[in-house]
Amino acid sequence: MLGRAGSETRPHTVDYNPSMRRSADKPLAGKTVVITGGAQRLGRQFALSMAQAGADVAITFRQSAREAQHTVVDVAGCGVRAVALRCDVTDEKSVKAMVKEAVRELGGVDILVNNAANYETAKFEELTLKQWDAIFASNTRGPFLVSREMLKPLRERKGKIINLGSLGGLLPWPDHAHYCSSKAAVHMLTKVMAKALAPEIAVNCVAPGMIDLGEKAAAAFMKKMAGKTPMRRNGTGEEVAGAVMFFATAPHFITGQVLAVDGGLGLGGESV
């Protein structure tokens, strides 16, 4: 269901100053972007990076209404149009309504970033069918549904789709069978879509490794993984956003690629 951040019926929109729109150092000026799960964490970083590059941005949120409103205000502070749309990416009706509203608010869509996803740890023998289905619903069905419903506006502008995969979709992590499988499916979905949607739409995928977002609960784990990473540190949200920006601004000829942003961690096949 759509909603103003804190409301149930209308999107939350912040106006912008048109005089700030165009600049030679803003490669996405005049472009419009939809980012699923863009209220917080990496999604928020993507929204800010693309806004700083000149794009008008719509983010979706499911429960994080307060965070979505804050992100919209910060994005609009970059001098672009910003809107937050309530959406459950696992629900077809909700996705259809979100896409219709996004096109109405933005006037069209140039770039879709399928970011909304869930992460969970579970021992294989304790993994339930409910957990398996829930992860696949958010992580795999979500990108499929949103991409399918966004095809018309993206084709009209010869747009781009950027999926968020994971190093876990490239490596087998023993306590993440459902998560790893769902992200591996996103990587394959990226390649299938790249062939199926060419030549109008370019489709690529960013697969982050260990990204430190400053969460205290993960500090010990992050320290351990930094020691296993060839670059001897974990990644940052800005670095993942840089990879997303690469695909957003890259030649349309680049499609079907899965780019790992992992500091070389995947080279050693390290488990989590």
Q: Which residues are catalytic?
A: 179
CA–CA distance, 34 with 235 (Å, rounded to integer) = 24
* String of DSSP letters for the chain: ----TT-SSS-EEE---GGGS--TT-TTTT-EEEETT-SSHHHHHHHHHHHHTT-EEEEEESS-HHHHHHHHHHHHTTTS-EEEEE--TT-HHHHHHHHHHHHHHHSS-SEEEE-------B-GGG--HHHHHHHHIIIIIHHHHHHHHTHHHHHHTT-EEEEE--GGGTS--TTBHHHHHHHHHHHHHHHHHHHHHTTT-EEEEEEE-SB----GGGHHHHHHHHHHSTTSS-B-HHHHHHHHHHHHHS-TT--S-EEEESTTGGGGT---
Q: Which two tokens stand for residue 199?
A: 């030549």
Dihedral angle computed from the Cα positions of residues 114, 116, 121 and 124, in that order, rounded to the nearest 10 degrees? -60
Work out the angle between the directed axes of helices 41-52 and 65-76 (0-180°, nearest 10): 20
Q: Which two tokens stand for residue 251?
A: 């030649």
